[in-house]
Amino acid sequence: MTGNKRILPVILVALFFTIVLAALLAYMVRPVTDSFTYEYGERVSTDLKDYVEGLDFAVNLSSLDLSDVGAYPGIYYAKVYHFPVVFSYRIQVTDTIAPLITGFDSKKVFEVGKTYEARDLVGSIFDRDPKIRLSLREKESDINCSIIGTKILFSSTAETELTLTAADSSGNTASVTFAAIADNAPVVETYEDYYVAKGTEAEFTCGAYDYQDGDVSKSLKVDIPEGYYETTGLYEARFTVSDSNGLTGETYSNVHVYEPETIQDMINTGRLNGHSGNVFGALNPYDAGYVVNDDIEEARRRLIPAIVRISYETSRVSSFGSGSIFSIGDNGIIICTNGHVVDDMKKVDVHFYDGSTVKGIVEEKSDVPDVAFVRVPLAGLSRGLIATLKTVHINLEYFETLSDRPAFEVGMYCTDGKGGEWLTRYGQIERKSGKLDAYFEKYAYAVTEVSVDLTPGVSGSMVFDSHGNYICMASFYWMNGAIKENYGVSLDSILNFYEIVFGHRLEYN
């Protein structure tokens, strides 16, 4: 019994140490490895079982410290604390994957004179490294190509080969090579400003030329607000065209929409050319216009292209007079002259200011008033001549505001029918309107008295004031005793007869 009592403590002590040893062995963990290698961008493991091994409860009693581990390529150290032991691990982050270049074409077109960034030449560049460096290399050395850093500029047209290289911080590289074509964008030519009468849609005059494709005008597109011509105001028109290489040329124009009368006034005062390709909807693009200041010499100069000589010959007589162009349209040129100038002729010779001579058809003539209208078909005239012809400036409203005896300067110009001047005479208007039926039965219509000396051959001539307004048409003179009186058919009498013949009024400011 005594012996058993002695053995029991020993057994208990042995059991205790056995339990302690078992506990210590269960608590113990050991490193799985002492180093790890990760690819740049790969997540560093936070699982303790990747670092130490042992019983689960022992592993879970450990703690992992990654505070010194960075994300960029390099060597770092991680720690696992397992009291009382500290395990250290070498963590190496490497970058062995080259950048990935996507979205590039085998051919790239460059616009001459435009600077391009290398990154814009491809769709995307993928790499974990945010500090990708790009570089460009040109195959040819004699091409007018400037590469500065990541920028490229062609100073002239060329065809060459370019290589774009992307490199990361670890020296991994990727390259793409493509054909490079340097071309000029198409050149678009048009007017800087357009002038459009309200209610008239403009047919824009524009052209485009490309260095490689030639004339590309048919591909031009015009962008302008819909219905712009229905409301007065200032609008912008954009002209664009693309060539076969995909380069786009563009330009812009101002589009001024005015009331038709405003457009006509700009033509009449010389601010616009009614025949220009940037003017649309003019009431009369041929109008000789009016002179703003009193200048009868300038008025005469402007009216020369509106003055003609009219002549005819028969077996018994050779006769000539003058006339002035009243209108120009699809139906021809309408010329006003005296009825007695054309007499009973059906056709007469019409001599324009440049000496051109064509046959004119007598549309209608009258003795009361002494007016006739002659039509010249456009088919017999050159386009160049038609473009330079003018119509006389008619302003009945102005004429009607004149007093009965206004007494201002007037003039008369006659062409010689050969492209030169026959005569120019000046005088004054003596009386705006009156009738001579008390003296002559057939003159029961309004006539205008002037002091311009009328002589044979001037009949049918336009008498104009210092602004270029049509005042009357030289018709006849007579001796009232010892005094010579000169008369012309008044403007209102002419316009009334014009309406009878052609069915519409011809008067505008």
What is the pLDDT, as a whole number, of residue 129? 87
- Grouping H, G, I as helix, E, B as strand and the rest as coil, residue 328 is strand
Do 413 and 344 reside in the same domain of the chain? yes
Q: Enumerate residue ranges in the chain where pLDDT < 50.
A: none
* Phi/psi of residue 296, nearest 5 degrees: -70, -25
What is the pLDDT, as a whole number, of residue 375? 97
Query: Residue 433 in contact with residue 490, Cβ under 8 Å?
Result: yes
Query: Residue 290 in contact with residue 300, Cβ under 8 Å?
Result: no
Rounded distance, CA 358 to CA 508, Å?
28
Q: Is 375 exposed, middle or buried (0-12, 13-18, 19+ CB in 10 A)?
A: middle
Do 342 and 454 reside in the same domain of the chain? yes
Do 272 and 301 reside in the same domain of the chain? no
For tokens 């950048």, what's the residue? 99
What is the pLDDT, as a whole number, of residue 362? 97
Do 276 and 231 reside in the same domain of the chain? yes
Do 443 and 344 reside in the same domain of the chain? yes
Mean pLDDT of the chain: 91
What is the pLDDT, as a whole number, of residue 20? 67
Domain around 246: 187-280
What is the pLDDT, as a whole number, of residue 224? 96
Last residue of a domain, one of 94, 120, 140: 94
Last residue of a domain, one of 33, 61, 94: 94
Q: Residues 6 or more apart from 12 whose CB is under 8 A from it?
A: none
Last residue of a domain, one of 141, 165, 183: 183
pLDDT tens, position by position, 121-163: 888 999 988 889 998 888 866 667 888 888 999 988 888 899 9
Q: CATH number of the domain at 224, please.
A: 2.60.40.10
Q: What is the signed CA dihedral for 353, 354, 358, 362, rounded to 10 degrees?
A: -10
Residue length of the chain = 509
What is the pLDDT, as a whole number, of residue 387? 92
Number of domains in the chain: 4
Do 115 and 71 reside in the same domain of the chain? no
The DSSP H or E segment spanning 10 is helix 2-27
Query: Which has the closest alpha carbon to 249: 191, 205, 208?
Result: 208
Do 78 and 219 reside in the same domain of the chain? no
pLDDT tens, position by position, 480-502: 788 898 999 999 899 999 999 99
Do 255 and 317 reside in the same domain of the chain? no
What is the pLDDT, as a whole number, of residue 432? 84
Rounded distance, CA 503 to CA 26, Å?
123
What is the pLDDT, as a whole number, of residue 339? 96
Do 35 and 163 reside in the same domain of the chain? no
211 in any annotated domain: yes
pLDDT tens, position by position, 273-314: 999 999 999 999 999 999 999 999 999 999 999 999 999 999
- Pairing, β 248-258 against β 233-242: antiparallel
What is the pLDDT, as a whole number, of residue 1? 55
